[in-house]
Amino acid sequence: MKRLWRGAALAGWGVALLAMPALAEGGESSPADSPTGWIFRWINFAIVLGLIVWAFSKAAPYFRRHAEEITEKIAEGTRAREAAEAKSREAQAKLGELDKEVAAMRAAAKKDMEAEIVRLKAQTKEEAATVEETTNAEIEAAERAARMELKAIAADMAIARAEAMLRERMTPQTDAALLKTYVAELERSVN
């Protein structure tokens, strides 16, 4: 700030020195061309120059701060652009790998599907064999039960037939003879 005032003072002295020859001239042409007119012109110039210097001195910190902010924003924008470019490269690399990953996933899915089909076929065969064995066992059990039932029916029929035949052949004389034989055997077994 002091430099600015020194510069303004020097400029003022320079204006005064330059105005001296104008003050020394004589002649009455117009009041603006008179030495007093020239002095006022130089004073006006010095005031305007001083105001301009003062305005720039007051505005300089604002412009510096604004320039620094712009520089920071440019640097921040550059960093953001670099980060975005890095992310873009990363995304491009991932997209390039994505096709490979999709192909690998498809191959793995196909392999898994084929393995699952083989497993299901084997499981179906096992279940069919189990069902067949169970069915055969049930059929054999049903056959055995039917045979036993058939034998029981045949035995019942044979007993009924034998009973019917015995009734036909049993007469009171046969009955008495059988009773005598039975009693005789009992007597012998007691003795």
Q: What digits encode the pLDDT tens for the residues 127-163?
A: 999 999 999 999 999 999 999 999 999 889 989 888 8
Averaged pLDDT of the chain: 84
Domain assignment present for 164: no
The pLDDT of residue 126 is 93
The pLDDT of residue 167 is 78
Domain assignment present for 104: yes
The pLDDT of residue 118 is 93
Q: Which residue has the higher pLDDT, 106 or 20?
A: 106
The pLDDT of residue 124 is 92
How big is the chain by its Cα radius of gyration, in Å? 68
The pLDDT of residue 94 is 82
Domain assignment present for 61: yes
| Rounded Cα–Cα distance for residues 6 and 135 (Å) | 121
Closest CA to 8 of 79, 56, 41: 56
Residues 6+ apart with CB under 8 A from 182: none
Domain assignment present for 151: no
pLDDT in tens, 18-62: 666 555 555 456 666 777 878 888 889 999 998 988 888 888 888
Domain assignment present for 55: yes
Q: Which range has the worst mean pLDDT, 63-72, 89-98, 118-127?
A: 89-98
Give DSSP secondary structure letters for 31-55.
TTTSHHHHHHHHHHHHHHHHHHHHH
Whether pTM exceeds 0.85? no
Q: For tokens 């004589």, name the residue.
A: 26
| Rounded Cα–Cα distance for residues 7 and 46 (Å) | 12
Percent residues over pLDDT 90 in the chain: 36
How would you label 57-74 residue by residue, b for 16+ Cβ within 10 Å and e otherwise?
Answer: eeeeeeeeeeeeeeeeee
Assess whether pLDDT exceeds 70 at residue 4.
Answer: no
| Rounded Cα–Cα distance for residues 118 and 108 (Å) | 15
Count of structural domains within the chain: 1
Domain assignment present for 131: no
| Residue 114 structural domain | 2-118
Domain assignment present for 32: yes
The pLDDT of residue 26 is 52
The angle, 0 to 180 degrees and rounded to 10, between the axes of the packed helices 2-24 and 35-169 is 150
Domain assignment present for 140: no
